[in-house]
């Protein structure tokens, strides 16, 4: 029986944080073959329904398989007259990722479920933002802000410090500005990150908005003083 020992085409970091009425999630738009930017203009975000987006880092093929699994779950919930909620999907994927890990055949992904949880059905006033993370080993947790991949080492503390200044009072515009700044820092340090990116938003009032492709250039003036690249 064959197992995937090394993922072939991969995506890098995912950055997400809550604001007062929802969640902002940002990914770049490249899938890398090793360190080569093999496939450009590839979205790493998937709209599950009007309450939720899921984004991935890691193996692209495994995430394509997961999309089919998620679609079947959405249909199963519709058959009983319910919409799949962020917490329900997070719990299901946690069990799935852990089961695959224990069979020594893991899915090579880190998943971020971002959405709005309806505490009371059809009552937007009671909706609460939700971010859930599942690692390749099936370790799962809920958080108010997260950076995965290499950004977990580079940016988690910076994102947390900025988020704490306003916490749940953070506005949507401020949250989007923060993840844009986080991406700029990522492209300086991560050779697999790309400067083409998209920002998805899940808002308690407006539902899911998948952002258009954007490009950030950054400030590379320091390169003129770097003489250690030979």
Active-site residues: which are they?
Answer: 4
As a whole number of angstroms, the distance between CA 193 and CA 155 comes to 14
* Angle CA 77–73–53, to nearest 5: 100
Tokens of 58: 């890691």
In contact, 147 and 156? CB cutoff 8 Å: yes
């Amino acid at each position: 029986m064959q197992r995937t020992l090394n993922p072939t085409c991969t995506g890098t970091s995912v950055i997400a944080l809550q604001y007062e009425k929802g969640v902002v999630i940002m990914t770049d738009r490249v899938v890398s073959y090793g360190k080569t930017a093999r496939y450009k203009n590839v979205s790493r975000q998937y709209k599950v329904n009007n309450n939720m987006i899921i984004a991935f880092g890691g193996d692209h093929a495994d995430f394509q398989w997961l999309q089919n699994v998620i679609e079947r779950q959405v249909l199963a919930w519709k058959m009983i007259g319910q919409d799949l909620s962020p917490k329900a999907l997070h719990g299901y994927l946690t069990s799935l990722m852990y089961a695959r890990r224990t069979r020594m055949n893991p899915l090579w992904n880190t998943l971020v479920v971002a959405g709005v949880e309806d505490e009371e059905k059809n009552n937007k006033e009671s909706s609460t933002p939700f971010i859930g993370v599942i690692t390749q080993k099936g370790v799962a947790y809920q958080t108010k802000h997260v950076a995965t991949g290499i950004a977990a080492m580079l940016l988690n503390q910076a994102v947390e410090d900025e988020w704490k200044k306003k916490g749940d009072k953070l506005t949507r515009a401020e949250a989007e500005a923060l993840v844009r700044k986080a991406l700029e820092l990522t492209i300086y340090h991560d050779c697999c990150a790309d400067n083409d990116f998209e920002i998805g938003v899940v808002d308690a009032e407006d539902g899911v908005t998948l952002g258009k492709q954007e490009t950030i250039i950054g400030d590379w003036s320091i390169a003129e003083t770097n003489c250690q690249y030979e």
